[in-house]
Structure 1
Amino acid sequence: MTKIAFQSAADSDSRENLEKTLLNPVVLSELESIRGTGIAEELANIYPGDMARVGAVKQGKEGEQKAEWEKLQRGDVVLFMRDDMVFLSGIVTYLVKNPDLARELWGDDERGHTPECVYFVDEVKDQFIPCSTINRMMGLEETYPWPGFQVHLEDVSAPVVYGYQLESHVYFPIVSEDEYKEIVQEIDRTRPLDTKGWSRLRKEDGFLRDQLFRGKVVEECGICGNKYPTQFLIAAHIKDRWHCTTEDRLDYQNIAMPICKLGCEELYRRNYVTVIDERVAVTKARVDSKDLKSILVRLQGRVCPWFKGSRKYFDWHTRLGKYF
């Protein structure tokens, strides 16, 4: 599940760095310290628009802030605080300890130190949340004195993450194949989801995204065929997630396909379209909108490249619609 990191922006150095690289995005291709490196390539996949927002923390006197930074992973939330108020949030996309990059972005402070524990973020949003409210939700004293940078683990963070809808639907934790198989077999579809259950679902979704996109910047929607940056696509279960057996879910090579969030996700989920014998088919669902009808006409008959190996899951979806 998602962790929360709290970062103070109370002193002048923190506010200046925040203004430089987080409130104002940096141009990745202009960063000389990472040019021609694997870091630049990985960031180009995450940020195809060449613009990214960046934050960082210093190691701390005893390395305590570095230890907190090392707890972060892709998909975690960073909350920025000032004057006892959370005023900004962002989703962690990439982490790197790189003094040269940090120095290029922020330079050294008056003591010759630079915040070299760097993290990149996306989905940056304005917030207006009193720290006292967050403290209560996390079971802390209302006047808990937040340090400069601190990470709280999943169970403690959950009320804030879900209460303020902070979780990303694009960036997920990195999950290995073995962990995915373990997660799938632990999910009990007959019981209401608790914190651990939501965490498992999130990791399942993250694994499926990684398998479908494999670091690609752009991928094709399985329904409309348009190619979009992967941020505009979801890893959709071809057969409804809650009807999948454990065996279905373990068949991760075939159970999911990319679907765009620009309309096709809703059309497929609401059974306006399905896939029969490799081609998109429009159902007999009632359509009262001329604009929607024109979209469906364009989708009818186009080839779905994700059909091979997934026929039984598409057949299940077609039978569910009962429109043929």
Structure 2
Amino acid sequence: MIHVMRIVMQPARRSEKDVNQHYQDTIVDPVVFDEHADLLDATTIDRLKQLFPDGHAQMWGVVPGKNDANLSRIKKMHPGDWVFFSGDKRIYFGGTIALKWRNKELATRLWGTDPAGSTWEYMYALSGTRGFDIPIEEIRTLLSWNPKRNIMGISVLHEGESDALQTLLTLDASAAALEPVDTAQEEAAVAAFDGELERTAQRAQRGEQSALKRRLLQGGTGQCALCGRALPGTFLIAAHIKKRAMCSDEEKRDLANIAMLACTFGCDAVYEHGYVCVGTDGAIQASSLAAEIPEVEAYIQQKLAGRTVTWWTPSREPYYQWHRIHTFKDVPPV
């Protein structure tokens, strides 16, 4: 079965000396597997090396809690879920749970113990990590939380909240040790299906979309705002600078500033998924995380590196700023 991504909220205040030290020791400086092979069982180290061929990974852990209070929450965490680190009223770091396991001895070696003598033995390795700078007030508003609610302990958000955060921050799946698919079971389910093959779908139409593209595309051709290529309108999209799902009605109606033309040959995708952003001077900035996908990095280097977006104006800057904060794949904070 397909894994449904859930969001895990991991409190970790870096203003606390011990937490910041742990962050430096196993996030800023990833854990090298071979240095701890004496404490890692063969199955775990093999799976880690399959997921991380370079031989190291960022790691974190969770204490069992008083009277094992955290166990029910830990059981809800699965490879493929996203973890957000929060502290000091902000979300500042996140990534995909690549692998989860329990190892008290290794946790003690890496992080020691807390004042109660417990250690962070329910461990997980992270892939596809990136930095954030999102005020907790914005999360409260998005998820309709109590205005005073804080993330006090590790928690797994329900599906609706997870979907909302995934949409806000454009979370892409990364490497994870997902459960193998039972092919025979999947084929049997398909063979047994006797429902309707076609359904009538009703969905909200983007009422301003045609007017937006007409405004941007004057005539049969136009210029991609990012790569600068002149192309037929068929290959250009009226791409929202700020994600449309997060725009207010007033912003959606700001036809002069909310969107730009982006080509379907790659620019729309790399911008939408945060591998590039537009800086305060209009210069295109590339995410260092693009190097993890050679084809994406090659496209950026060949078509976008060193370019300045003439589309940028002070009136459009608030939308470009939103994209830099929420969508651009920034490096984790050090």
* TM-score normalised according to structure 2 size: 0.53
Shift of 1:33: 3.9
Q: Determine the structure 2 residue equivalent to 1:167.
A: 172
Cα pair 1:34 1:40 within 8 Å, conserved? no
How well do the aligned residues superpose, as a CA RMSD in angstroms?
Answer: 3.4
- Percent identity at matched positions? 21
Question: For the structure 1 residues 182 and 74, does the alpha-carbon distance in structure 2 shift closer, same or farther, using more than 3 Å as the test?
Answer: farther
Q: Determine the structure 2 residue equivalent to 1:140.
A: 145
Q: Give the total of aligned pairs.
A: 203
Q: Deviations over 1:15-54 (max 9, x none)?
A: 2212210122111111144356211111111110011000
Q: 2:120 aligns with which of 105, 115, 120?
A: 115
Question: For the structure 1 residues 63 and 27, does the alpha-carbon distance in structure 2 shift closer, same or farther, using more than 3 Å as the test?
Answer: same
What code does the residue aligned with 2:23 have? L
Mapped to 2, the partners of 1:78 and 1:96 lie a distance apart of 15
Cα pair 1:8 1:14 within 8 Å, conserved? no
Question: For the structure 1 residues 68 and 170, does the alpha-carbon distance in structure 2 shift closer, same or farther, using more than 3 Å as the test?
Answer: same
Shift of 1:67: 1.9
Q: Which has the higher contact order (CA 8 A, sep 6+)?
A: 2
Equivalent residues in 2 for 1:210-289 (5 A)? 262-263=294-295
What code does the residue aligned with 2:6 have? K
Question: For the structure 1 residues 14 and 189, does the alpha-carbon distance in structure 2 shift closer, same or farther, using more than 3 Å as the test?
Answer: farther
Question: For the structure 1 residues 36 and 3, does the alpha-carbon distance in structure 2 shift closer, same or farther, using more than 3 Å as the test?
Answer: closer
What code does the residue aligned with 1:4 have? I
Is the partner of 2:53 in helix, strand or coil? coil
Q: Deviations over 1:110-146 (max 9, x none)?
A: 3321111101101110101111211222232232121
Give ranges in structure 2 of 5+ residues lacking alignment. 204-291, 303-334
Shift of 1:79: 0.4
Shift of 1:71: 0.7
Q: Determine the structure 2 residue equivalent to 1:9.
A: 12
Cα pair 1:91 1:124 within 8 Å, conserved? yes
Question: For the structure 1 residues 172 and 95, does the alpha-carbon distance in structure 2 shift closer, same or farther, using more than 3 Å as the test?
Answer: closer
Mapped to 2, the partners of 1:89 and 1:145 lie a distance apart of 17
Q: Determine the structure 1 residue equivalent to 2:109.
A: 104
* TM-score normalised according to structure 1 size: 0.55
Shift of 1:107: 1.7
Mapped to 2, the partners of 1:99 and 1:3 lie a distance apart of 26
Q: Determine the structure 2 residue equivalent to 1:75.
A: 80
Cα pair 1:55 1:118 within 8 Å, conserved? yes
